[in-house]
């Protein structure tokens, strides 16, 4: 793993909605291979920060650079192709499609064969399609979802839907994976499994991961470094133990019992 190469650089970036500075003047640097947490109270701007990174919103100030290239203003599908993908706080899947098709659709985002060859069913499509299906099935095995290939996504239990959402995000072959509250709604066992899964996929796919999470056991357990947002501003950055003992963070978010 190329651990010391900079992957993401966010320079003084922010966004204003009318009079509200939802995120302002943020500076974040993430190196290849890192697993980083983003925490902060409700409404601090965490999801908005993800929306900036993924092109849902263009920053109204500053720059976002992936491997040195500016992403500002690119639409989400182009940012996905450049290597950033995400999951959402409220799971977003194609509910009526099968588990297998959910992953195949994601593969299409980065597939090399053209839409035309798909429509006219020209030979490259068949090869591409078969390859894609095999890849998707192998992929779903990693997530323990290969027993449900033809089940509609909406029929999976909650924890498995979460895993499928991560599988879909990974199927676009990102360099940087953004996870928005992946443990929300999970019981402690599911959370533990998720922690193991995140560590495992990071190694297996040589990934860099940034995750928003309120579950401190998860954040402190898997992240190497943590950024803390409060009222749209970064108030701290450091290792889990530095963050746990940072008076500003305790006051804004963690409360005294966690210290």
Ligand X SMILES: Nc1ncnc2c1ncn2[C@@H]1O[C@H](COP(=O)(O)OP(=O)(O)OP(=O)(O)O)[C@@H](O)[C@H]1O
> Contact residues for ligand X (CB under 6 A)?
17, 20, 22, 40, 42-48, 89
Using the minimum distance from each CB to ligand X, give the nearer residue, 89 or 109: 89
Using the minimum distance from each CB to ligand X, give the nearer residue, 32 or 162: 162
List, in sequence order, the alpha helices (H) in 72-156.
Answer: 76-82, 99-110, 115-119, 123-142
SS3 202: helix
CA 82, distance to chain mean position in Å, is 14
Using the minimum distance from each CB to ligand X, give the nearer residue, 1 or 20: 20
Per the CB < 8 A criterion, the answer to whether 35 and 198 are in contact is yes
Q: How far is the CB of 118 from ligand X (least distance, A)?
A: 34
Q: How far is the CB of 177 from ligand X (least distance, A)?
A: 17
Give the CA radius of gyration of the chain.
Answer: 19
Q: How far is the CB of 119 from ligand X (least distance, A)?
A: 35
Residues 6+ apart with CB under 8 A from 121: none
Q: How far is the CB of 219 from ligand X (least distance, A)?
A: 13
Using the minimum distance from each CB to ligand X, give the nearer residue, 4 or 42: 42
Classify the C-alpha dihedral 127-128-133-134 as positive or negative.
positive
Using the minimum distance from each CB to ligand X, give the nearer residue, 48 or 160: 48
Closest CA to 63 of 51, 71, 54: 71
Per the CB < 8 A criterion, the answer to whether 165 and 105 are in contact is no
Residues 6+ apart with CB under 8 A from 192: none
What does 216-256 look like in DSSP terms, one character per residue? Answer: HHHHHHH-SEEEEEETTEEEEEE-HHHHHT-HHHIIIII-G
Q: How far is the CB of 212 from ligand X (least distance, A)?
A: 7
Q: How far is the CB of 40 from ligand X (least distance, A)?
A: 6
Look up residue 9 and give its DSSP letter. Answer: E
Using the minimum distance from each CB to ligand X, give the nearer residue, 60 or 118: 60
Using the minimum distance from each CB to ligand X, give the nearer residue, 22 or 132: 22
Q: How far is the CB of 255 from ligand X (least distance, A)?
A: 15
């Amino acid at each position: 793993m190329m651990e010391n190469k900079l992957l993401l650089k966010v320079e003084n970036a922010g966004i204003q909605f009318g009079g509200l500075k939802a995120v302002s003047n943020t500076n974040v640097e993430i190196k290849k291979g890192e697993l980083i947490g983003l925490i902060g109270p409700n409404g601090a701007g965490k999801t908005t920060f993800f929306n900036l990174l993924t092109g849902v919103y263009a920053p109204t100030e500053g720059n976002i650079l992936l491997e040195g290239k500016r992403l500002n203003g690119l639409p989400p599908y182009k940012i996905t192709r450049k290597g950033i993908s995400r999951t959402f706080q409220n799971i977003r899947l194609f509910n009526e499609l099968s588990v297998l098709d959910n992953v195949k659709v994601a593969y299409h985002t980065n597939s090399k064969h053209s839409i035309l060859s798909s429509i006219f069913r020209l030979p490259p499509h068949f090869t591409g399609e078969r390859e894609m299906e095999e890849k998707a099935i192998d992929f779903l095995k990693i997530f323990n979802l290969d027993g449900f290939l033809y089940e509609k996504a909406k029929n999976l239990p909650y924890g498995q839907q979460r895993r499928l959402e991560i599988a879909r995000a990974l199927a676009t072959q990102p360099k940087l994976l953004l996870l928005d509250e992946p443990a929300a709604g999970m019981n402690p066992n599911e959370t533990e499994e998720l922690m193991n899964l995140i560590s495992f996929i990071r190694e297996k796919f040589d990934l860099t991961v940034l995750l928003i999470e309120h579950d401190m056991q998860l954040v402190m357990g898997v992240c190497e470094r943590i950024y803390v947002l409060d009222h749209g501003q970064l108030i701290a950055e450091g290792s889990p133990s530095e963050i746990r003992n940072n008076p500003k963070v305790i006051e804004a978010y963690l409360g005294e019992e966690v210290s």
